[in-house]
Structure 1
Amino acid sequence: MIRYIRRAAAFCLLLLVALLVNAARVQLFEADELDANPANRRNTIARYDQPRGNILVGDRPVTGSKETGELLSFERTYLHGPLYAPVTGYASQTYGTTLIENAEDAVLSGTDSLLAPLPFWNEFTRGRQPGGNVVTTIRASMQQAAYDGLSGRRGAVAALDPSTGEILALVSTPSYDPERLSGTGSAVTDAWAGLNAARSMPMLNRAIRQTYPPGSTFKIVTAAAALDERVVTDVDAATDTPSPYVLPGTRTTLPNEARGCEDASLADAIRVSCNTVMAHLGVEVGLEGMVETAEKFGFNDAGLRIPSGVARSNFDTDMSDDQLALSSIGQFNTTATPLQMAMVASAVANGGDLRRPHLVDRITTDDGDTVRQERSESYERPMNPATAVQLQRMMVDVVEDGTGSNAAIDGVTVGGKTGTAQHGVDNSGLPYAWFISWAQAPDSGRPAVAVAVVVEDAAAERDDISGGGSAAPIARAVMEAALEE
């Protein structure tokens, strides 16, 4: 009898050992997989069991949290949601996170080790701290001026501080209210379906995620290349450029909408926006020189983050001369985000030094203590300082005596460049209206702001669409708000 009891005890012991081994296997080797399993709701419940940290503009939160009284205890709220949606993105219990809500999710949800009282505290305790705050570089008055200027039309505005790279305004319209996506249930799924089905694509962040042909605004890049490569040594000297200009290797002629472009100087070509001169100069610079200059401005960079990812602006690296000519005036396959073209204006305004754009100023605990401060960094030097000075003068001439007069501000030095970008099959689509600019107060030693505006105005008459007519007044309003700051 004792023998059978011993056998039963040994068998029970074996079962216990097997249970312990299996428990250890699950905890040590399968824990991460089980944590990530969509059927495991513990992480989701824990994620929403405390208020999320806030995103701030200046010293004011533009986000919040509210109690739901449900299993997922707290839900995201937004103040002036459509105005700041291109900055904040959304934090949805159903659809996840985007933009700053995504890029700084660890801070906002309280899991970032920066918020812990001691190093590795969160790792040891497997806990979280109260959500931290993300203070942005956005200026409320400039954001509002850009949003009001677009008036719901399809388009975008990006504004930078040329001296630091701080993003001062980032607007995309039409916009949406991210609070509609915050929770769960049929209202949220219906809102999601409606927003995604809308032809105006309100959830598309046109300022950083949409690329457009930049049209004549790209001529600033071509001018920088021509000056740095010594293709042009005197900006006021006549160039050997016929009008119309026959694209190299073809019988296709490139016309001008402006008058007086035959043999025009570089300064005049920028002032009145001569296609022929700038296309010819791009070919004279050559593919290698144009690619090098464009990439120093930020084109072809697929890794730019602000901290959200920015769509890659494109300048082809393998082209025939006729394609290069068109690319040099912002057509063919050349495309750019509004942020990219703000970077172009910023580099000119800042004497040739392009600062890396960034949207986050600092990270704080929920008590307001700073735990991370962003610093200004150089992105590239796309042109010589002397070239930047010459381009500044030419861009000022565009505003004072050229196509950009609608951007002029009394008593302020303003430089600009208009652009009307053709697109669609055989250029049948309504052109995009572009304007890039910068402004400097008379009593200041540095520029206040650099701005890029693009307007996709499908409701406008084709002849009415121009960078000077549609986009320049918006840029002026944003620059005036920056100067008031």
Structure 2
Amino acid sequence: MEKLHRNIKLVFAVFCGLFMCLLGYLTYFQVYERQKLIESSYNRRLWEQEESITRGTVYDIRGRVLAATVVENGAKRRVYPQGPAFGPLLGYSSRKLGRAGLEEVLNGELLGISQQDPMLLLRQKILGVSKGNDVYLTIDSDLQKRAYELFQGRRGALVALDPNTGAVLAMVSSPGYNPSSVEKQWEALSKDKASPLLNRAIQGLYPPGSSFKIVTLAAALESIPDIEKRTYETPGYVKVSGRVIRDYEGMEPGNYDVKRAFSLSSNSIFVKIGLEVGKERLFAKAQEFGFNSKIPFELPAAVSRFPRFSLMSDDVELAEASIGQGRILATPLQMAMVASTVANGGKMIQPYIVQKTVTPLGHVKNFEKAGSAKQVIDEVTANKIREYMVDVVENGTGTPARVRGIPVAGKTGSAENPHGETHAWFVGFAPADDPKIAVAVVVENAGSGGRNAGPIAREVISQYLERLQ
């Protein structure tokens, strides 16, 4: 009998434990995951709710319509008047295909179900409001379309930021698609080898090549006190544990200081610098610039990768990392943030793309993130890198990015990749002495960064600064 009582108590304790686990599980979803579940694109109730609620309109920074709902023959349809330049960014909202891009991540705002103020919700209900919130982006649609045209159908991406606020001025992925006709073209789009459905600006991971030398230079300026007084001799290549790493054509053998080596993008000299900086310091500086960390951003961005020093088995891997090759991968958004950090005196500001939301009753909620900044490098170092980047555009590999009458700071990159021709990079900002725009451009399998990515950056910078005048 005593054994039976013990067994009953044990069973009772087990069931109590299971009940508490279930209670905790339900409480977790009610308290922490409730809003996410409500706004999830897999929640079929949202589609039923959308029958009675008109989805909000998406506008650019100047109030031009990017996405809107129209009623045709009694049926609602989502339209995107700006065309394929906005496809990968805006995504689509389709009962047949679901949602993607900003249409997915802003679903709660556009349906008006993310509003947390109970009094505001009550007022809307009493007044019979059946429309979601309108969303205003930081994007300039003219700049976006111009940037998209400059790719001329080539695969690649561009991100332009305001380095002072973190606002995204343009975010282009090429090739794009027209969200208005995505249902009709779905089969062709989903099978297209150029991957037009992919937002390369935030999901594309590329070896950054020589554009990463900005990070290597920052680490060197901070950890090698006399580096600016040194000269480095190079025969045009360097040997590291039997591996030969060559400079690109046009780099003559000779003696160079670090500024000229940066301007001409010498691989051999920056390998030597990287080896002197060392694994730990280069890894730490990459981490400070945001590598290996999730970028806090409205859209899900891939994590840019820098190999952990414990996995760097030998000097060859460190040598490759110093020049942005090997196992380093970066998104265009990440490299735009690197350029923006230098432009902003060493402060990295969190990027954002939603400027504000407006409820049907006129209540405005602003999203500017200017206060969220971290000091990545000190201002003295940032100003020195800025000086070097200006020399790249004035006297080095970045001359195709020159803008008449405006000093431009930049860094080119020609990144080797194992899947085809070299990727072309350009990252930079302007005006160099009072930055208003920072850009990162990558053109897949295009060759020289200066010749192929530089002109795209030049035109985008020029158009944006003309608009500010």
TM above 0.5: yes
- Asked if the contact 2:286–2:306 (Cα under 8 Å) also holds between the matched residues in 1, the reply is yes
* 3-state SS in 2 of match to 1:446: coil
Instruction: Measure the CA separation in 2 of the matches of 1:479 and 1:219.
Output: 22
The Cα of 1:94 is off from its aligned counterpart by: 1.7
- Asked if the contact 1:49–1:74 (Cα under 8 Å) also holds between the matched residues in 2, the reply is no
- Asked if the contact 1:306–1:357 (Cα under 8 Å) also holds between the matched residues in 2, the reply is yes
- Asked if the contact 1:396–1:416 (Cα under 8 Å) also holds between the matched residues in 2, the reply is yes
- Asked if the contact 1:350–1:446 (Cα under 8 Å) also holds between the matched residues in 2, the reply is no
Match of 1:472 among 430, 454, 464: 454
Task: Please say if 1:254 is aligned against 2:258.
Answer: no
Match of 1:289 among 281, 294, 299: 281
> Aligned in 2, Cα 1:131/1:193: closer, same or farther, shift over 3 Å?
same
Instruction: Measure the CA separation in 2 of the matches of 1:191 and 1:290.
Output: 46
The Cα of 1:262 is off from its aligned counterpart by: 4.6
The Cα of 1:96 is off from its aligned counterpart by: 1.8
> Aligned in 2, Cα 1:78/1:368: closer, same or farther, shift over 3 Å?
farther
Match of 1:54 among 43, 52, 57: 57
Instruction: Measure the CA separation in 1 of the matches of 2:154 and 2:40.
Output: 42
Instruction: Measure the CA separation in 1 of the matches of 2:448 and 2:440.
Output: 14
Aligned equivalent of 1:308: 299
Amino acid at match of 2:134: N
- Within 5 A, what are the aligned runs for 1:89-238? 89-114=91-116, 118=119, 121=122, 130-181=131-182, 188=183, 191-229=185-223, 231-235=224-228, 237-238=230-231
- Asked if the contact 1:158–1:171 (Cα under 8 Å) also holds between the matched residues in 2, the reply is yes
> Aligned in 2, Cα 1:295/1:128: closer, same or farther, shift over 3 Å?
farther
> Aligned in 2, Cα 1:37/1:228: closer, same or farther, shift over 3 Å?
closer
Instruction: Measure the CA separation in 1 of the matches of 2:45 and 2:291.
Output: 44
* 3-state SS in 1 of match to 2:345: coil
Amino acid at match of 1:208: I
Task: Please say if 1:364 is aligned against 2:353.
Answer: no
Aligned equivalent of 2:385: 391
Aligned equivalent of 1:6: none
Task: Please say if 1:335 is aligned against 2:317.
Answer: no
> Aligned in 2, Cα 1:128/1:261: closer, same or farther, shift over 3 Å?
farther
- Asked if the contact 2:414–2:422 (Cα under 8 Å) also holds between the matched residues in 1, the reply is yes
Percent of paired sites with the same residue: 38
Q: For residues 14-61 of structure 1, give each alpha carbon's deviation from its aligned partner in whole angstroms, at most 9, with x where no partner exists.
A: xxxxxxxxxxxxxx99x99xx999999664222233321011112112
- Asked if the contact 2:410–2:429 (Cα under 8 Å) also holds between the matched residues in 1, the reply is yes
Q: For residues 54-78 of structure 1, give each alpha carbon's deviation from its aligned partner in whole angstroms, at most 9, with x where no partner exists.
A: 11112112111122546xx422111
Amino acid at match of 1:84: F
The Cα of 1:87 is off from its aligned counterpart by: 2.6
> Aligned in 2, Cα 1:370/1:41: closer, same or farther, shift over 3 Å?
closer
The Cα of 1:378 is off from its aligned counterpart by: 3.4
Instruction: Measure the CA separation in 1 of the matches of 2:215 and 2:174.
Output: 27
Aligned equivalent of 1:21: none
TM-score scaled to structure 2, two decimals?
0.85
Amino acid at match of 1:60: R
The Cα of 1:290 is off from its aligned counterpart by: 0.9
The Cα of 1:416 is off from its aligned counterpart by: 0.9
Runs of 4+ aligned residues of structure 1 deviating over 6 Å after TM superposition are 35-41, 122-125
- Asked if the contact 1:261–1:276 (Cα under 8 Å) also holds between the matched residues in 2, the reply is no
TM-score scaled to structure 1, two decimals?
0.82
> Aligned in 2, Cα 1:260/1:63: closer, same or farther, shift over 3 Å?
same
* 3-state SS in 2 of match to 1:211: coil
- Asked if the contact 2:236–2:251 (Cα under 8 Å) also holds between the matched residues in 1, the reply is no
Say what the alpha-carbon RMSD is for the aligned residues.
Answer: 2.9
Aligned equivalent of 1:449: 437
Instruction: Measure the CA separation in 1 of the matches of 2:331 and 2:193.
Output: 20
- Asked if the contact 2:88–2:177 (Cα under 8 Å) also holds between the matched residues in 1, the reply is no
The Cα of 1:362 is off from its aligned counterpart by: 1.0
Alignment length (residue pairs): 429
Instruction: Measure the CA separation in 2 of the matches of 1:449 and 1:438.
Output: 6
Worse-matched range after superposition: 328-337 or 79-88: 79-88
Q: For residues 215-266 of structure 1, give each alpha carbon's deviation from its aligned partner in whole angstroms, at most 9, with x where no partner exists.
A: 110011100011112x25343531366642111xx21121112424555221
Worse-matched range after superposition: 274-283 or 87-96: 87-96
- Asked if the contact 2:426–2:450 (Cα under 8 Å) also holds between the matched residues in 1, the reply is yes
Aligned equivalent of 2:396: 402
Instruction: Measure the CA separation in 2 of the matches of 1:42 and 1:220.
Output: 49
List runs of 5+ in structure 2 lacking aligned partners.
1-25
Instruction: Measure the CA separation in 1 of the matches of 2:234 and 2:138.
Output: 45
> Aligned in 2, Cα 1:50/1:36: closer, same or farther, shift over 3 Å?
closer
- Asked if the contact 1:86–1:170 (Cα under 8 Å) also holds between the matched residues in 2, the reply is no
Amino acid at match of 2:96: T
The Cα of 1:367 is off from its aligned counterpart by: 5.0
Task: Please say if 1:416 is aligned against 2:413.
Answer: no
- Asked if the contact 1:111–1:129 (Cα under 8 Å) also holds between the matched residues in 2, the reply is no
Instruction: Measure the CA separation in 2 of the matches of 1:128 and 1:311.
Output: 38
- Asked if the contact 1:353–1:378 (Cα under 8 Å) also holds between the matched residues in 2, the reply is no
The Cα of 1:375 is off from its aligned counterpart by: 2.9
List runs of 5+ in structure 1 lacking aligned partners.
1-27, 182-187
Instruction: Measure the CA separation in 2 of the matches of 1:37 and 1:440.
Output: 42
Instruction: Measure the CA separation in 2 of the matches of 1:36 and 1:137.
Output: 23
- Asked if the contact 1:416–1:437 (Cα under 8 Å) also holds between the matched residues in 2, the reply is yes
Instruction: Measure the CA separation in 2 of the matches of 1:37 and 1:452.
Output: 32
* 3-state SS in 1 of match to 2:169: strand
Computing the radius of gyration over CA atoms, which structure comes out larger, 1 or 2? 1
